[in-house]
């Protein structure tokens, strides 16, 4: 999967996306939101916001920014935001692996059904950690392979085919999170079929920078390095 193919695939989905992936994944979106009791003025970033199916679920007292590669998906999200008068939401076209935001711009960064739909999940994780404030929350809602070896083998086998449809099926939570300065707070299986996970992490990048300084890496370059993550 590369940037052009992802953009092309999701632009083609835009008009039918809600019918294909709306209801089936809505319980996951609701489960993600049910976990939070955001403080007033919390700043949320949703990467890969798509048609904005999660947008109505954010509390209105929070600031929400949504970004996506596909202008066509964003058009659908804009229609939704307008129809529902979501004045606390702003939407921008941006690549999640190369964001324009300053470091520490958000309190919570959410990727719903996205981390396996991006060309480079490491670049996206690096950017999510960078733009999230220290001790802020990073939330991944996604299908991940689990410990069942037979199922994992099937998921690996079908992954090249699924890539043509815009997502891969061969990534595990550990592959996505290993090496990043995040502490997992929750890894809950969610519907449908318990094959999807809601993973909530705390951003521990301060400790990564301290660690980088100890081993002689300039703190500004720390996000480019892999340092074993803290587990809680």
Ligand X SMILES: C[S@@+](CC[C@H](N)C(=O)[O-])C[C@H]1O[C@@H](n2cnc3c(N)ncnc32)[C@H](O)[C@@H]1O
Residue ranges binding ligand X (CB under 6 A) = 6, 10, 21, 29, 47-50, 53-54, 67-70, 73, 95-97, 112-114, 117-118
**Shortest spacing between CB 216 and ligand X, in angstroms:** 32
**Shortest spacing between CB 25 and ligand X, in angstroms:** 6
> Which residues, 6+ apart, have CB-to-CB distance to 94 below 8 Å?
67, 68, 69, 100
Alpha carbons 55 and 79: distance in angstroms, whole number: 11
Q: Which residue has the tokens 């999660």?
A: 54
Long-range pairs, 38-41, Cβ under 8 A, ≥24: 38/62, 38/107, 38/108, 39/107
Q: Which is nearer to ligand X, 123 or 210 (CB)?
A: 123
Q: Which is nearer to ligand X, 80 or 204 (CB)?
A: 80
**Shortest spacing between CB 110 and ligand X, in angstroms:** 8
Residue nearest to ligand X (CB): 50
Q: Which of 148, 150, 68 is nearest to 113 (CA)?
A: 68
Q: Which is nearer to ligand X, 29 or 126 (CB)?
A: 29
**Shortest spacing between CB 196 and ligand X, in angstroms:** 11
Alpha carbons 205 and 127: distance in angstroms, whole number: 12
Q: Which is nearer to ligand X, 69 or 211 (CB)?
A: 69
**Shortest spacing between CB 123 and ligand X, in angstroms:** 8
Could you tell me if 96 and 48 are in contact, meaning their C-beta atoms sit under 8 angstroms apart?
Answer: yes
Q: Which is nearer to ligand X, 48 or 209 (CB)?
A: 48
């Amino acid at each position: 999967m590369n940037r052009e193919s992802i953009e092309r695939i999701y632009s083609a989905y835009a008009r039918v996306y809600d019918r294909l992936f709306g209801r089936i994944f809505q319980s996951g979106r609701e489960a993600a939101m049910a976990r939070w009791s955001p403080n007033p003025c919390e700043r949320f970033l949703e990467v890969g916001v798509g048609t904005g199916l999660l947008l109505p679920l954010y509390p209105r007292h929070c600031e929400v920014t949504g970004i996506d590669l596909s202008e066509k998906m964003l058009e659908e999200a804009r229609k939704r935001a307008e129809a529902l008068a979501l004045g606390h939401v702003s939407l921008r076209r941006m690549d999640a692996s190369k964001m324009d935001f300053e470091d520490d711009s958000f309190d919570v960064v959410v990727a719903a059904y996205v981390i396996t739909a991006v060309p480079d999940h490491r670049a996206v994780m690096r950017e999510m950690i960078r733009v999230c404030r220290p001790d802020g929350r990073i939330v991944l809602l996604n299908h991940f392979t689990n410990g069942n070896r037979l199922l994992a083998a099937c998921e690996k086998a079908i992954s090249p085919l699924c890539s043509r449809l815009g997502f891969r099926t061969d990534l595990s939570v550990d592959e996505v999170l290993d090496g990043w300065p995040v502490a997992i707070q929750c890894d809950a299986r969610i519907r449908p079929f318990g094959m999807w996970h809601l993973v909530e992490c705390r951003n521990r990048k301060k400790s990564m920078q301290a660690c980088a300084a100890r081993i002689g890496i300039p703190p500004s370059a720390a996000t480019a390095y892999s340092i074993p993550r803290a587990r809680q």
